[in-house]
Homo-oligomer: A and B are copies of this chain.
Amino acid sequence: MRYIDAFNHFFPSAFFQEMLQTPAGSKDLGKRMRGIPAVHDIDVRRRVVEEFDDYTQVLSLGLPPAELLVGPEQSPELNRIGNDGLAELVAKYPDRFVGYAASLPMDVPDAAAREAERVLAAGANALQLFTNVKGLPLDDPRFLPIFEIAAKAGRPILLHPVRTPATADYASETFSRYEIWTILGWPYETSVAMARLVFSGVLDRFPDLKVVTHHLGAMIPYFSDRIRYGWHQLGTRTSGEDLDAVAKRMKKPVIEYFKGFYGDTALCGSRASVVCGLDFFGADHVLFATDCPFDPEGGRGFIREVIAVMESLDLAPDAREKICFRNAERLFGLGDG
């Protein structure tokens, strides 16, 4: 089976060097990332990828977003370095790196819009957005042009969670310990961002927008009927906000908006969860992805685990092809897609 890995992470050399100069990069972050060669050394990365037959990657930058590394005077340039670096790798190694998702200087919304237009014109296959911008939710009106550009270009958003400054404070009281924020907080954050895109009307405004959510829809599939019935009662459970107006504005049942998202299979394995996510989204809205190289082996672990899950699933040939590569071809504009 052909596999296109829709969501995985790499720091191109020039970006990585810049990152190591930043306050965070010069300390723990840099140390940690240097310890994962497959995330910044293209030769190591290629060797990992080449262990798998008929397997290619659409590359995205890793975390943190540039706006958490540098100030707004530098983030447009840092994002451009990252995006050009990914474009270069795709040009140089088209056999294994078939596309890339560009990241944007979202802390400077005008610059983000210009960068989105620049990279999409130059052939970027998607835009990677993080679930908040220094605590600002993605449905903030400042970010509407980005969604409009993506929708017009017919290219998807890859939605990746990121910690918020506000949750860092929250964390200091209850949640900071034990890396809970990373392991559990990220999927929560993705789910919150999805809900805000639904209720704020962003998805109604751009009905053709395609948003691929990391970790197979995060919390949404497992809690699908909690969402269906809970938000059916929107405004009856809490007060202090005019939720009746929100409910009236909705053009379809809340759960249908959530089903309109796409999910990737980057759940580190979890076969029964992939079955659950597929049941929710359907084969047209799930894309194979691995989160390479953030497994305990530093690169090949999650590729192997997710492929094993895919091979174990009882799927019609057509559905299997959609999930493994056809949806990616279509969304990213690859090959015949």
> Interface of A with B (CB < 8 Å)?
28, 32, 35, 132, 135-137, 164, 166-167, 169-170, 173-180, 182-185, 187-188, 191-192, 195-196, 199, 215, 219, 221-239, 241, 243, 246, 267-273, 275-277, 279-280, 295-296, 301-302, 305
Beta-carbon contact of B243 and A179 below 8 Å: yes
Tell me if A's interface is mostly helix, strand, loop or mixed: helix
- Complex partner residue of A226 from B176, B199, B215, B246, CB under 8 angstroms: B215
Q: Determine the distance from Cα of A28 to Cα of B240 in the docked complex, in whole angstroms.
A: 10
17 A-B Cβ contacts within 8 A?
A32-B237, A132-B174, A164-B173, A166-B173, A166-B174, A170-B170, A179-B230, A179-B234, A180-B196, A185-B188, A187-B219, A188-B188, A222-B222, A224-B270, A225-B268, A226-B268, A229-B268
User: Inside 8 A of A164's CB, which chain B residues have their CB?
Assistant: 173-174
Closest to A29 in B: B239
Q: Which residues of B contact A223 (CB under 8 A)?
A: 183-184, 187, 215, 267, 270, 273
Beta-carbon contact of B224 and A273 below 8 Å: yes
Which residue of B is nearest A137, CB measured?
B174
Copies in the complex: 2
Nearest B residue to A246 by beta-carbon distance?
B178
Kindly report which residue of chain B lies nearest to residue A174, judged by CB atoms.
B137
Contact A225 B270 (CB under 8 A): yes
Find out whether the CB atom of A219 lies under 8 angstroms from the CB atom of B179: no
A283 to chain B, nearest CB (A): 14
Q: Evaluate contact between B173 and A222: CB separation under 8 angstroms.
A: no
Which residues from B are CB-within-8-Å of A275? 272, 275-276
Residues of chain B within 8 A of A182, CB atoms compared: 230, 237-238
**Shortest CB distance A59–B (Å):** 21
CA distance A183 to B199 in the complex (A): 13
Given A178-B196, A215-B226: 6 more A-B contacts, CB < 8 Å: A169-B170, A170-B170, A182-B230, A223-B273, A225-B267, A228-B269
